[in-house]
Amino acid sequence: MKPFDQNEPSNHPDNDFQAPVVPPDLQYLHDVEIGMGGDRTLKMEICYPKPAPPEPWPVLIYIHGGGWNHGSKNQHANKIVGYAKRGYVGVAIEYRLTPEGAVFPAQIEDCKLAVRYLRAHAQKYHLDPDRIGVWGSSAGAHLASLLGTLPPGKFEGTGGWENYSSRVQAVVDWFGPADFTSEFADQWRSLIALLGKKPSEDPEWAKAAMPGTYASDDDPPFLIMHGTNDTVVPFADSQSFYQCLIDAGVDATFIPVEGVGHGFSDYPEASQKAWEFLERHLKKKK
């Protein structure tokens, strides 16, 4: 792992990483090794308080999008420093991508590993293991939602820290894919690569990758937001997933974003709504 502080230069050799500006009361670690994803080491970015605060902080994990085939934790260093400035231990995680031959459930196994690692190292990072939230966008929101709905023991993998729970306490889902039974899904090359086959070739396997399949009344609170004009991930995916959560008795909020496409650059209020949700469900101890 590589620590950075506010005086660290940004010319790091990683092609997609620039060291963020970090306030003196925070510690930033780059490329923290957390365990194994298949036959390779997985890493995370983490920003946490220094010295130890009077009370441990809640955690907020960001899962990047990119169709399960591209994207990097390294591109979100400034984001997680921003999380830490708000009083959350900020984390960005890595997961195996389809171009390296990783098919489902590799991706969610890697996400679950990251949660277990954090619980195993709660004291080191001054974090509260009972207040872990996750925020994902697009393909990352699909994985974040699975973290929220999958039961213990399902798709855990064997990457490390198996004695710890992978459950989370709050989920922010921004325009995540959720319905793999549609005609759209059956033609989506990114999804076919994720599943290793067309959804129609094995409908039960497709459903096994859908977060709504596992919805139950012990799931954490969800905030789902999706643009009504999204042409990358159908708006209907979030509609159907939200209905699955409600039918199961989950505390879920769905906010359609009228006239917006894939991403919220034209809707700056989206982040504020997410922070209000996280404040309610992570900042305040039950």
Number of residues written out for the chain: 286
Q: 282, 43, 50, 11: which is closest to 160 by C-alpha?
A: 43
3-state SS of 177-240 is: CCCCCCHHHHCCHHHHHHHCCCHHHCHHHHHHCCHHHHCCCCCCCEEEEEECCCCCCCHHHHHH
User: What is the fold, at CATH topology level, of the domain defined by 2-283?
Assistant: Rossmann fold (3.40.50)
- Domain regions of the chain by residue span: 2-283
Secondary structure letter of residue 77 according to DSSP: H
80: helix, strand or coil: helix
* Of 253, 259, 266, the residue nearest 227 (C-alpha): 259
* pLDDT tens, residue order, the chain (286 aa): 544 333 333 333 457 899 999 999 999 999 999 999 999 999 999 999 999 999 999 999 999 999 999 999 999 999 999 999 999 999 999 999 999 999 999 999 999 999 999 999 999 999 999 999 999 999 999 999 999 999 999 999 999 999 999 999 999 999 999 999 999 999 999 999 999 999 999 999 999 999 999 999 999 999 999 999 999 999 999 999 999 999 999 999 999 999 999 999 889 899 999 999 999 999 876 5
